[in-house]
Amino acid sequence: MTGSLATDDQIRDLLTDSRLWFVVGLGDNPGRPAYGMARFLLDLGKTVVPFADDAIDVGAAAVWFQLNVIDVDAAQRVMDSGMLMVMDRCPAIDYPRLVT
């Protein structure tokens, strides 16, 4: 099975249907982008968990790389594992654009 880069419809589904989000780099520093993204997801009623392991190994359905995070090799590994890949996007930007 081969995964793919996410379409707007798939991103909308992730934003509306996914209740559990693992966030890499999440800490208690409000100046970090991961903190702001986690706060946004929490405000939507999502469950947010700090994460530092490999999403492929835990069987995640999708991997989301934040704005300006572009790693073509990592994205290819994700897609080769059959998962959906979102790259260089932000939930706080995509949610208002695609959901509301």
Model pLDDT for residues 6-48, shown as the tens digit of each residue: 999 999 999 999 999 988 888 899 998 889 999 999 999 999 9
Architecture per CATH, domain 4-98, reads as 3-Layer(aba) Sandwich (3.40)
Structure tokens at 32: 């970090």
Place of tokens 């968990």: 49
Cβ 82 vs Cβ 62: under 8 Å: no
Closest CA to 62 of 91, 36, 34: 91
Dump pLDDT digits (tens) for 55-94: 888 888 899 988 888 999 989 988 999 999 999 999 999 9
pTM assigned to the model: 0.84
Residues facing residue 90 across a β-bridge: none
